[in-house]
Amino acid sequence: MDKIIEFNNEVNKNIENIANDKKLKKQSLDWNIASAQYNYTYNFRSLGRPIIQFPQDIVAVQELIWEVKPDLIIETGIAHGGSLICYASMLALLDMCDAIESDSILDPKQSHRKLLGVDIDIRAHNRKAIEAHPMASHIQMIEGSSIAPEIIEQVRKVAKGYERILVCLDSYHTHDHVLEELEAYAPLTSVDSYCVVFDTVVEDMPADMFPDRPWGSGNNPKTAVWEYLKTHPEFEIDKSIQNKLLITVAPDGYLKRIS
């Protein structure tokens, strides 16, 4: 058998086996819950900017960006800008790969690819650092609530100019908010691309885990995903991603657009 196919088959088998390993899955969730008390996701940087993600999810999005090769990534929830910078740097790498493959000269500041970020509160020091970053030429930011009609309209207008769109939802983690985001932005996802809904793991955590937050068990991004999928058969949960990651903030949150 072809060695590459053989290796891929082995990995797929590993992932299937993990999916059936209830003990390992529980241990992974226990670790996730235990690390949350130290705000573990705050510990990382992408090209110098704080990114509030598990390293595993960063790798998963990197794999999706390579697979989908989006020309537009829409992300709600900017915070310090780390995820914007991270995904923008992957778009810049796609530009570089295109230039190498087509044997053309690349102007790294000119790109047909874009990272569009939306946040209700882009703090001045974060905006300054993002705008001063070398990846800024790939980034556009919109300030406002991601579910405000005028913001949705602005995002839709930008999206009109793009063909392959990937969406990441990582802003306010209540059921109602995420459901409204899904209604507004998931339809912009291209077929065979993904809408990634972060922090679905809140549903699997103890009910008293976030006493100072409005979200918790029964009211969180995962419950919104489940509600949305009832009437949106064009999306399905790509369980193979959470199975291979084990440690993820987005179980049931990697939604693939299949039609």
Interface positions with ligand SAM (CB under 6 A): 51-53, 76-80, 82-83, 118-121, 145-146, 170-172
Contact predicate 151/117, CB 8 Å: no
Closest distance to ligand SAM from the beta carbon of 226 (Å): 21
Contact predicate 186/167, CB 8 Å: yes
Buried b (16+ CB within 10 A) or exposed e, 15-39: beebeeeeeebeebbeebeeebeee
Per-residue CA distances from 233 to 14, 24, 227, 236 (Å): 28, 30, 12, 7
Closest distance to ligand SAM from the beta carbon of 140 (Å): 15
Which one, 61 or 165, has the nearer CB to ligand SAM?
61
Closest distance to ligand SAM from the beta carbon of 199 (Å): 7
Closest distance to ligand SAM from the beta carbon of 227 (Å): 18
Which one, 87 or 228, has the nearer CB to ligand SAM?
87
- Separation CA 4–CA 156 (nearest Å): 40
Buried b (16+ CB within 10 A) or exposed e, 117-152: bbbbebeeebeebbeebebbebbebbebbbbeeebb
Q: What is the DSSP letter of 216?
A: B
Which one, 107 or 212, has the nearer CB to ligand SAM?
212
Which one, 13 or 128, has the nearer CB to ligand SAM?
128
Closest distance to ligand SAM from the beta carbon of 86 (Å): 8
Which one, 58 or 94, has the nearer CB to ligand SAM?
58
Which tokens go with 143? 């300030």
Which one, 16 or 63, has the nearer CB to ligand SAM?
63
Closest distance to ligand SAM from the beta carbon of 212 (Å): 14
* Amino acid identity for residue 208 in this structure: D
